Every structure is written in structure tokens, then in C-alpha cells.
């Protein structure tokens, strides 16, 4: 650590202090500003919703332990994607799965999501028409594009630039280098929707984020509709005769009609769009299934970096899916409007029906629609965590009271508070003036922990359960521990007869090493548990990791600079009996080296470890 001459020996503690105080105040302000002033509580503390799912299957043999376990795992992934929402998924008996979702979660969404079988099909579009409309409105067709290079990690999001008359090319390494494969498919007259919606910008992951984006009005730049033919019953394409009556009767603006109309995978079917497109519900006639959802090997929500930052879903097919997808996109490319589109049908509703301009080889594709972040992630989730091995019906949704009466939480908090007071008293009695520093440090830690937890409740659905509360109470000890390590080091230096300012500096590298090594061990523990485990344990591991990380932040940015500042104050540097640094009390050796004391910079060079 080379230091310029002008720099004081003990650095600029004020800057670090200012930084952490600004951050703390900022987080607390954000917490009050967004109105998330309380951490979400787990089901054991706040109660929640209990959903009972019953498996049903045409084949009674299919309902067995291993299938139930797979289903439990998938549902766990769906309701608890980040692993910190404290949702509990457990089997009950031999055909039921119970899903407990803490209060504050989106009950309806959760209930919809958990049991849905997410059967996903790619079907060619035969015809489409707006339905339940008084006046026609332009369509807004999303686009699909693929990348020619199969990549296990999913190619970076890029719905490429429109390339008029792109031709299909064999996958080649060259293609990846260009970033955009030649198999590019994009209709020149589509609007890459997401730009028209400000959804991505707000980035609110809550399902409650109003569907403003979903039904967003088209931007001014929206291109003319792809189906200008408003006369012929506003239908474009050819409806197969066997579906004609059904198609004509279908009114997708009515909720009860937007159900799953698919009867067989090998026969054409009608379907409704899942969302309104420019305020219009579309109905579509679809050909037989071309690619199956189970052939999607991976799906993730990404931000479309090239087209104005909307949300999209990237897909990766397995071998079988890749072949089928390449074939169907090749076929569709030569068709006239709208038969050059394929529909992505999820549980009987059309999520998106993008154009195809050329065969898309390589096994990866992008679905871009007017997705909000939550929608894109939800879709990606459903695709990745795929089809459940069994079909489930929701047999019961009830709200349950907290498993532990409110008195348990109250007692926990009271105990935590008493514990905190005891710690404060102890450090005041033992460390006197320095004890004040540890109190201030604990307060900063508490403010940071509390505000981060509250914000995470809204951010990633983090919920606090009783074990996590206990973990936080233990964290008081760990945080205080770091202070003690440093204080004792300083006192050791003072015992050696060092004046306080150099003592504070010299004690730091050694205390720092101890703190870092031991905190690393704690953090490793948290990280391993987080990666390996599920449910409650994962939530706890998250809490432990968070508090450990904050411990390091507080000691580096708060405690150390504060002590450095205080060491400049007479009260401490002269070793006032109440400062906790009284050399006499500490039994410092007689100052033989008084010369050095007057000139602390002679040999007391700080060795940075």
C-alpha cells in the first residue's frame, strides 16, 4: 500500500464512513419510499395459503412415488424459484401434493402456476382473426429468430436485425462469430413489441405489476397491420373445413371460451391468444403439433439487447426438437401470410405466433412478445421445469393461520431485543468507550439487514421464517464478535506501550485477516447450503450469507474508520479511564520509548498484511 506523502497515516476514515452512512440511509429511504417497510414473513409466522393438488391420471399406475417426487420437485421449483420464498411443497398420502405459500405472495398466480401441466406445443398457424371486435385493430406480430449455432448455454439474446431475404445457412462457427446467423428470420414489417411497452424499464418482478405492458398500446412507430384485409370477416389464412364452424363460433374476448380447445396432437385445432394483442383477442386455427414442449431442453428469460430491451424467452431444443423445429420453420418460410407463422401454444392458449422467414437450424430460438419481466420469467420457468409427469387438479385452497401463534414471534422478538440489550450492556461494561462503537456498529448492521430483507421481500419473494429470525439473532453475536477481535488487537498493541493512533493502525491488518478467514468459513457454509438444499434450509442459508457479508461490510466501512476517527480524539488517545483504552488499566509497560511516543512515525511503520 504505497501512500502519497500528503495522505495522513491513518487514511481518510471520513470517506468510508460517509459512504456506508449514505448507503444505509439510502436503503432505509428506499424501503420507506417503496412502502415495503416490513420483511415478508414465512408461513410459520404469518400464515398463508395452503393449496392441495390431487394427481389424476388415466393410467392408475402412473401415480407412483417416483412420479409424485418428480412432480413435487418441479412444483417446488415453480413456487420457489429463488429458494427463499419459504413456500413449502410436500406430498400428502399417495396422490396429493400440498403447497403452502406464505402470505403476501400472489395467491391466484401461485394457484394457477403450481398445478398447471404446462403442455407446450408448437403448431403451424393456418388462419387467424380478431374476435369479439366492433372495430378492427392492427395486429402486432412478434417475431422469432433463431441462431445457427447450438450452444448449451443458450445464445445471448439477440433478435437480430431485420435481414431482408435472409437465406438459410448451415450452422458454422463463422456464423456464431458474426453474432447473427444467416438463418435469421424476421419479418420486416413486425414491431418488436417490447419497445412499445415500458415494462422492462420498471422491472417490477411482482406478478401484481399491472399488465400495462401486456396490453400496451402500439407505439407510434408500429408498422401497418399484417392483416389489412378487414372485409372477409377479418380472417386471414384458410380455416380447415373441419374447424370452420368451431372457428366461426369462437369468441376469444369471452373468458370462458379461452380454454384449451386442443383435442388431439395430430389434428388441427382452434385456440385463443393468451393475451390481448393491441387490445384485441385473436383466435387462431392451428395445424397439428409440429414440435413438443418436452423437447425444449432449456428456457430462460433474457432481455433483448438489440431491440430496445424488451423481455423475451430463449429456448434450446434437444436433438429431436432441433430436427423438428428446423423442418417446420423450413416449411413455413415459403408459405403466404399468415401461414408463415407458427404458434407457441401453452396449455391451449397461444402465447405468441411469430413469423418465420427461413429455416431456423441449430436448436435454439427466441420467443419475443410483449412480455413483462414476470411473464417472460414465468414462461421460461414453465418451459424449463417442463411438463409435470402427472396431471393435477387443485382440490382445495385454504388460508391457514400461522403455525406458531403470534406470541411465538413476539417472544422471539422480545428475546432478541433483550439479548441485544445484554450484549450492549456487556460491551459497555467491558469495553467502556469502545462499547459505544460496537453499539453503533450493531445498529448500522441492524438497519442494513432489516432494510435489505424488507426490500428483498418485494424483490425476490424473500420471506423470513422463525429459524431465519433465530439465525439473525445469532448474527448479532457474530457481528459483535468481529468488533471484539479488533478491539482486543488494539488493546494488545496498547499493552505493548504503543500510542493509540499507531496501535489502531497496526492492529488492523491482523484483526482483518482473522475476521476475513472466519467470515469466509461462515460464508462458505451458507453458500454450500444454499446451493444444495431446498425450502426452509435454503432460506436460512440465504440469511446467514447475507448477515456474514454485511458483517464484513460493516467492519471495513464502519467500525474501522470510526475507531480511526476516535483515536484522534483526546478522550481516547489519552486513554481516559472510561475510554476502554486506559494504558494503566491495560497494564501497558512503562513507556520506555517515550521518544517514540512523541514521534510516532519513526519506526512504527504500519505493515500492511
Partner 1 sequence: MSRFSNLGHKLYQGEVSFDFVGRRKLWYSISGVIVLVAAIGLTMGLHLGIEFKGGSVYTVAKPGLTISQTQEAVDKIVESHPLVQSTENGKIRIQVSSEEKVSSSVITESLAKGLGVPVQEIEAQVIGPSWGEQISNKALTGLVIFMILVTIYLAIAFEWRMAVAALVALIHDLLITIGVYALVGFEVTPGTVIGFLTILGYSLYDTVVVFDTVKENTKDLTKQNKLTYSDAANAGLNQTLVRSLNTTVVALLPVAALLFIGGGFLGAGTLNDISLALFIGLAAGAYSSICVATPLLAQLKEEQPEMKALAKRVAQRRAADAKAEAARDAGGEDGEDGSGDEQPAGMVGQRGRAAGTTRAKGRPSTNR
Site for partner 1 in 210-249 (CB under 8 A): none
CB proximity list for 185: less than 8 A, separation 6 or greater: 143, 144, 145, 146, 166, 329, 333, 355, 356, 357, 358, 360
**How many whole angstroms separate alpha carbon 110 and alpha carbon 374?**
13
> Which 487-506 residues touch partner 1, going by CB under 8 A?
488, 491-492, 495-498, 506
> Which 6-65 residues touch partner 1, going by CB under 8 A?
44, 50
The minimum distance between CB 418 and partner 1, in angstroms, equals 4
- CB-CB neighbours of 158 under 10 Å: 20
470 lies in the binding site for partner 1 (CB under 8 A): yes
Complex with partner 1: residue 298 or 495, whichever CB lies closer: 495
476 lies in the binding site for partner 1 (CB under 8 A): yes
599 lies in the binding site for partner 1 (CB under 8 A): no
The minimum distance between CB 96 and partner 1, in angstroms, equals 8
Complex with partner 1: residue 78 or 258, whichever CB lies closer: 78
Complex with partner 1: residue 22 or 418, whichever CB lies closer: 418
Question: What are the Cα distances from residue 41, in Å, to 92, 103, 334, 415, 450?
Answer: 24, 7, 55, 18, 12
Orientation of helix 13-34 relative to helix 560-567, angle to 10°: 130
Taking CA 38 as the corner, what is the angle to CA 34 and CA 39, rounded to the nearest 5 degrees?
105
The minimum distance between CB 552 and partner 1, in angstroms, equals 13
Residue with cell 374476448: 253
How big is the site for partner 1, counted in residues (CB under 8 A)? 93
Q: Which stretch binds partner 1 (CB under 8 A): 91-99, 135-143, 263-271, 382-390?
A: 91-99
At 47 the three-state DSSP class reads: coil
**How many whole angstroms separate alpha carbon 437 and alpha carbon 455?**
27
**How many whole angstroms separate alpha carbon 263 and alpha carbon 241?**
16
The minimum distance between CB 31 and partner 1, in angstroms, equals 24
Q: Which of 404, 448, 458, 555 binds partner 1 (CB under 8 A)?
A: 404
Task: Report DSSP letters for 193-218, one per residue.
Answer: GGGG--HHHH----TTS-TTTTTPPP
The minimum distance between CB 279 and partner 1, in angstroms, equals 37
> Which 360-399 residues touch partner 1, going by CB under 8 A?
398-399
The minimum distance between CB 562 and partner 1, in angstroms, equals 19
How many alpha carbons lie under 13 Å from residue 457 in its C-beta half-sphere?
22
The 10 Å CB-count burial string (b at 16+, else e) for 59-76 is: eeeebeeebbeebbebbb
406 lies in the binding site for partner 1 (CB under 8 A): no
Complex with partner 1: residue 122 or 508, whichever CB lies closer: 508
Q: Which stretch binds partner 1 (CB under 8 A): 4-12, 83-91, 167-175, 266-274?
A: 83-91
> Which 536-555 residues touch partner 1, going by CB under 8 A?
536-537, 540-541, 544
The minimum distance between CB 194 and partner 1, in angstroms, equals 38
If phi over 0 gives left and psi between -120 and 50 gives alpha, with beta otherwise, what is residue 28? alpha
The minimum distance between CB 28 and partner 1, in angstroms, equals 23
587 lies in the binding site for partner 1 (CB under 8 A): yes
Q: Which of 22, 203, 415, 571 binds partner 1 (CB under 8 A)?
A: 415
408 lies in the binding site for partner 1 (CB under 8 A): yes
The minimum distance between CB 36 and partner 1, in angstroms, equals 25
Element (H, E) at 392: strand 391-400
108 lies in the binding site for partner 1 (CB under 8 A): no
Whether residue 338 has a cis bond before it, omega within 30° of 0: yes
Complex with partner 1: residue 252 or 544, whichever CB lies closer: 544
Task: Report DSSP letters for 550-561, one per residue.
Answer: HHHHHIIIIIHH
Question: What are the Cα distances from residue 230, in Å, to 129, 152, 236, 393, 532?
Answer: 10, 44, 9, 41, 57
Q: Which of 27, 70, 440, 525 binds partner 1 (CB under 8 A)?
A: 525
Residue with cell 448507503: 23
**How many whole angstroms separate alpha carbon 80 and alpha carbon 385?**
12
578 lies in the binding site for partner 1 (CB under 8 A): no
1 lies in the binding site for partner 1 (CB under 8 A): no
Complex with partner 1: residue 568 or 585, whichever CB lies closer: 585
> Which 437-466 residues touch partner 1, going by CB under 8 A?
466
The minimum distance between CB 2 and partner 1, in angstroms, equals 18
Q: Which of 411, 571, 594, 599 binds partner 1 (CB under 8 A)?
A: 411
**How many whole angstroms separate alpha carbon 370 and alpha carbon 56?**
34
Closest CA to 368 of 581, 246, 185: 185
Strand bridging mode 463-464 / 40-41: parallel
Residue 134 DSSP code: S
Q: Which of 520, 574, 578, 599 binds partner 1 (CB under 8 A)?
A: 520
The minimum distance between CB 568 and partner 1, in angstroms, equals 21
Whether the CB-CB separation of 339 and 141 falls below 8 Å is answered with no
609 lies in the binding site for partner 1 (CB under 8 A): yes
Q: Which of 223, 246, 253, 514 binds partner 1 (CB under 8 A)?
A: 514
Complex with partner 1: residue 69 or 265, whichever CB lies closer: 69
Complex with partner 1: residue 271 or 404, whichever CB lies closer: 404
Whether the CB-CB separation of 35 and 97 falls below 8 Å is answered with no
Q: Which of 189, 481, 553, 573 binds partner 1 (CB under 8 A)?
A: 481
Whether the CB-CB separation of 281 and 171 falls below 8 Å is answered with no
The minimum distance between CB 569 and partner 1, in angstroms, equals 21
The minimum distance between CB 140 and partner 1, in angstroms, equals 42
The minimum distance between CB 533 and partner 1, in angstroms, equals 4
436 lies in the binding site for partner 1 (CB under 8 A): no
Complex with partner 1: residue 337 or 518, whichever CB lies closer: 518
Complex with partner 1: residue 472 or 557, whichever CB lies closer: 472
Amino acid at each position: 500500500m504505497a501512500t502519497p506523502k500528503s495522505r495522513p497515516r491513518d487514511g481518510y476514515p471520513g470517506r468510508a464512513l460517509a459512504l456506508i452512512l449514505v448507503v444505509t440511509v439510502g436503503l432505509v429511504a428506499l424501503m420507506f419510499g417503496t412502502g415495503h417497510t416490513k420483511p415478508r414473513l414465512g408461513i410459520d409466522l404469518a400464515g398463508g395459503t395452503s393449496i392441495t393438488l390431487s394427481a389424476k391420471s388415466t393410467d392408475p399406475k402412473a401415480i407412483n412415488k417416483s412420479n409424485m417426487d418428480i412432480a413435487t420437485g418441479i412444483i417446488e421449483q415453480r413456487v420457489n424459484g429463488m429458494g427463499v420464498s419459504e413456500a413449502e411443497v410436500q406430498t400428502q398420502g399417495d396422490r396429493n401434493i400440498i403447497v403452502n405459500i406464505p402470505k403476501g405472495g400472489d395467491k391466484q398466480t401461485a394457484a394457477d402456476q403450481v398445478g398447471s401441466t404446462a403442455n407446450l406445443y408448437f403448431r403451424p398457424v393456418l388462419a387467424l382473426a380478431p374476435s369479439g371486435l366492433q372495430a378492427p385493430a392492427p395486429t402486432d406480430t412478434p417475431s422469432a429468430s433463431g441462431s445457427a449455432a447450438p450452444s448449451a448455454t443458450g445464445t445471448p439474446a439477440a433478435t437480430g436485425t431485420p435481414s431482408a431475404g435472409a437465406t438459410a445457412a448451415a450452422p458454422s462457427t463463422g456464423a456464431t462469430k458474426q453474432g447473427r446467423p444467416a438463418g435469421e428470420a424476421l419479418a420486416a414489417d413486425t414491431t418488436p413489441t417490447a419497445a412499445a411497452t415500458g415494462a422492462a424499464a420498471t422491472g417490477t418482478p411482482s406478478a401484481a405489476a399491472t399488465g400495462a405492458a401486456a396490453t400496451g398500446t402500439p407505439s407510434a412507430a408500429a408498422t401497418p397491420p399484417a392483416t389489412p384485409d378487414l372485409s372477409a370477416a377479418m380472417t386471414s389464412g384458410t380455416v380447415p373445413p373441419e374447424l370452420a364452424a368451431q372457428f366461426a363460433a369462437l369468441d376469444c374476448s369471452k373468458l370462458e371460451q379461452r380454454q384449451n380447445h386442443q383435442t388431439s396432437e395430430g389434428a388441427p385445432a382452434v385456440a385463443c391468444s393468451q393475451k390481448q394483442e393491441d387490445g384485441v383477442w385473436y383466435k387462431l386455427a392451428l395445424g397439428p403439433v409440429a414440435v413438443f414442449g418436452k423437447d425444449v431442453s432449456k428456457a430462460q428469460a433474457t432481455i433483448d439487447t438489440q431491440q430496445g430491451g424488451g423481455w423475451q424467452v430463449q429456448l434450446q431444443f434437444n436433438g429431436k426438437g432441433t430436427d423438428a423445429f428446423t423442418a417446420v420453420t423450413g416449411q413455413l418460410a415459403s408459405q403466404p401470410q399468415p401461414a408463415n407463422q407458427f404458434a407457441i401454444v401453452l396449455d391451449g392458449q397461444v402465447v405468441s405466433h411469430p413469423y418465420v422467414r427461413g429455416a431456423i437450424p441449430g436448436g435454439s430460438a427466441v420467443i419475443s412478445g410483449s412480455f413483462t419481466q414476470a411473464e417472460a420469467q414465468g414462461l421460461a420457468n414453465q418451459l424449463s421445469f417442463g411438463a409435470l409427469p402427472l396431471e393435477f387438479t387443485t382440490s382445495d385452497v385454504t388460508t391457514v393461520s400461522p403455525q406458531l401463534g403470534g406470541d411465538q414471534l413476539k417472544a422471539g422478538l422480545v428475546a432478541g431485543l433483550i439479548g441485544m440489550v445484554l450484549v450492549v450492556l456487556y460491551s459497555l461494561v467491558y469495553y467502556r468507550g469502545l462499547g459505544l462503537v460496537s453499539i453503533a456498529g450493531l445498529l448500522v448492521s441492524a438497519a442494513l439487514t432489516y432494510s435489505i430483507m424488507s426490500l428483498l421481500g418485494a424483490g425476490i419473494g424473500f420471506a423470513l421464517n422463525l429459524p431465519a429470525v433465530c439465525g439473525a439473532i445469532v448474527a448479532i453475536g457474530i457481528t459483535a464478535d468481529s468488533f471484539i477481535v479488533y478491539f482486543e488487537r488494539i488493546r494488545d498493541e496498547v499493552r505493548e506501550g504503543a500510542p493509540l493512533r499507531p496501535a489502531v493502525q497496526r492492529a488492523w491488518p491482523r484483526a482483518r485477516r482473522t475476521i476475513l478467514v472466519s467470515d469466509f468459513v461462515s460464508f462458505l457454509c451458507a453458500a454450500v447450503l444454499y446451493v444444495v438444499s431446498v425450502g426452509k434450509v435454503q432460506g436460512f442459508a440465504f440469511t446467514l450469507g447475507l448477515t456474514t457479508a454485511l458483517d464484513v461490510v460493516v467492519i471495513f466501512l464502519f467500525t474501522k474508520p470510526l475507531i480511526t476517527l476516535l483515536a484522534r480524539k483526546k478522550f481516547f488517545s489519552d486513554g481516559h479511564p472510561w475510554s476502554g483504552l486506559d494504558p494503566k488499566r491495560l497494564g501497558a509497560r512503562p513507556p520506555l520509548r517515550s521518544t517514540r511516543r512523541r514521534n510516532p512515525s519513526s519506526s512504527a511503520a504500519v505493515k500492511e498484511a
